[in-house]
Amino acid sequence: MQPEKPIVIRKEVVRRGSADEFLKGLWRENPVFVQVLGMCPVLAVTNSAINALTMGLATAFVLLLSNLLVSCLRHYIPPQVRIATFILIIATFVTVVDYLIQAISLEIHKSLGAFISLIVVNCLILGRAEAFASRNSIGRSLLDALGMGAGFTFALLCMGGVREILGGGTLFGVALFADNYQPWVVMILPSGGFFTLGAWLLLFNRIKQRQQRKQPRLQARLQEMGSEQ
Amino acid sequence: MNDLRKTLEISTSPHIASGRSVEDIMRNVVWALLPATAFAIYAFGIGALLTLSVATLTCVATEHLLCRGGGRRSTVGDWSAVVTGLLYGLTLPPGLPLWMVVGGGVVALALGKYLFGGLGYNAFNPALVGRAFLQAAFPAAMTTWTPALAPERFQVLPSSTLTLPFMTPDYSLTAADGVTGATPLALMKFDQQPTGTYDLAFGFTGGSMGETCGVLILLGGIWLVARKMMNWRIPAAIFGTVIILSALFNGLDPARYPGPWFTLFSGGLMLGAVFMATDMVASPMTSLGVVIYGIVIGALIIVIRFWGGMPEGVMYAILLGNALSPHIDALTQPRVFGYKSGLKSERYHEDYRQ
């Protein structure tokens, strides 16, 4: 028995407010703690807060400009070669940021090493270009990039801060404890990156679970109040 | 049909219970560890007593609190946390600050055992996970050895033991009454200075608290084997591999590579082979697999000790062996009755993937 009419699934277009477009990257769709994207820089360069901040800002910069350009050119990029085009655009801005960091501080450039060039293959940036900038207006793409960039920087700072405080007793190079503080060397080593990421993910998932548990109760309460009125 | 359902009870294997419980075995492991523990306290004084108690209490308390926090029934009663805590304590250097002992103990139980799902699910020996974490976090403190049989060991604690949390331990006071000594392994590796077999076997040397007296550890192991609570094939395979390989290399270059007796009784080999590698959860289950596992661990110990940068490699060798054991199990499944040998491995792997 076939239904006479084909079933049409209605696509609901949810228009988000511009503030929400920015905020979603910071919290609800945080690129590191929720989407778990771009793990290579998250684990590799967060051994100190300054490295984490530089990497976060560099990624945010590339994300912003590549989202802008991709969004501008979205009607002109042929879909068959879109990935190659995105990568070309991203690589251009990575080269810019590479020279920029080199000009500002050679020391940080050295300590970040190959990871600056590797921003090209950061799946967060390609992901935003493909999933968002190539389908949305310039303004929304910019807001999205700002939010995602800020969320990524925030996450890297969370990682780098904890690892530097425990692993060296300092934050941004400023000593926090007395002279005979015993550093936890493991936190600066790669394994410390995994420990810290695991702990943060645990914390964020816990908070999210709490919120989700509260939400149905809240909605039920609102409905109750609505029916009373 | 109804009658059948009543009389025929269908359940999955195993159908024959051995009558032995986890508590029973774990309690016996604790008894088997007691001689080595007593010697540790005799050789390193009240510092060792304090450190071992703190290590054991930390592990038991962590397990209890985690179970409670996760809303489960506390599994402290099965004695496995006591075994982990005591073993973990015995692998630590005497004079390690107590706050590090507590930190490593929490990591051992939380990261090494609870996160995997508790007893029976831990992929690695929890005691060694705790020790490996400390080794990576505080490499200096974990390789500073206060000497054994110091004259005032029953009157004063080592100055480093009571270091305030998060502070660097101070070894100066300990160094005053008897220089912080090197272990026989470090002496051999860096100074080519061998230690006598008698001193090594009876534990009159520096080292981790529980690893020095090989004879007493062996005694505990023999008791467990006699009560059929330990798989003798694992230590036998490790000892065999180590003896053969070290005899071979010692024959080639006696100045550089130590002989079999030194290798056997120095460092944590005896403690690791008898009590750590035999961890029932983290070792393979098949008879052939167990032998392969022992040979792999023995060979890794030799490789790390002879050619690695560190003097000791038992901990990493056993942890690597633990990581391999599910794969060893998968490779050494016995032929299922009624199946051809060629087919069984594919069939097993299909089951294994599900």
- C-beta atoms of A186 and B169 within 8 A: no
Show pLDDT as tens, one digit a residue, over chain B (354 residues).
Answer: 455 555 666 777 777 777 778 888 999 999 999 999 999 999 888 889 999 999 999 999 999 999 998 888 888 888 999 999 999 999 999 889 999 999 999 999 999 999 898 888 999 999 999 999 999 999 888 888 888 887 778 888 887 888 888 888 877 655 444 456 678 888 777 777 777 777 887 878 888 888 888 889 999 999 999 988 889 999 999 999 999 999 999 999 888 888 888 888 888 899 999 999 998 889 998 999 999 999 999 999 999 999 988 888 899 999 999 999 999 999 988 877 777 665 445 555 555 554
State pTM to two decimals.
0.84
**Mean pLDDT confidence for A189-212:** 90
- Identify the CA nearest to B23 among candidates B31, B14, B15: B31
**Chain-centroid distance, C-alpha B77:** 21
CB B53 within 8 A of CB B30: no
CB A105 within 8 A of CB A27: no
Tell which A residues from 160 to 219 touch B, by Cβ distance under 8 Å.
Answer: 177-178, 180-182, 184-187, 189, 191
* pLDDT value of position B174: 52
The structure tokens listed for B175 are 């160094």
Helix (H, G, I), strand (E, B) or coil at A127: helix
* pLDDT value of position A14: 53
Interface test mutation site (partner A, options B99, B167, B170, B171, max chain A beta carbons within 10 A): B167
Residue A216 has pLDDT above 90, yes or no: no
CB A107 within 8 A of CB A48: no
Encode pLDDT of B292-331 as tens digits: 999 999 999 999 999 988 888 899 999 999 999 999 999 9
Helix (H, G, I), strand (E, B) or coil at B62: helix
Residues of A whose CB is below 8 A from B166: 177, 181-182
φ, ψ of residue B199 to 5 degrees: the values are -60, -40
* pLDDT value of position B177: 46
- How many residues are present in chain A? 229
Quote the number of domains for chain A. Answer: 1
CA distance A58 to A13: 33
Domain ranges of chain B: 21-144+146-180
> What is the C-alpha R_g of chain B?
22
Host H or E run for residue A171? strand A170-171
Non-local (6+) Cβ contacts of A45 within 8 A are: A51, A52, A55, A112, A115, A156
Q: Tell me the shortest Cα–Cα distance from B167 to chain A, in angstroms.
A: 5
- Identify the CA nearest to B205 among candidates B268, B123, B158: B268
Non-local (6+) Cβ contacts of B164 within 8 A are: B99
CA distance A44 to A55: 10
Q: Tell me the shortest Cα–Cα distance from A169 to chain B, in angstroms.
A: 10
φ, ψ of residue A171 to 5 degrees: the values are -140, 125
A164: containing domain = 4-228
- Identify the CA nearest to B72 among candidates B121, B36, B33: B121
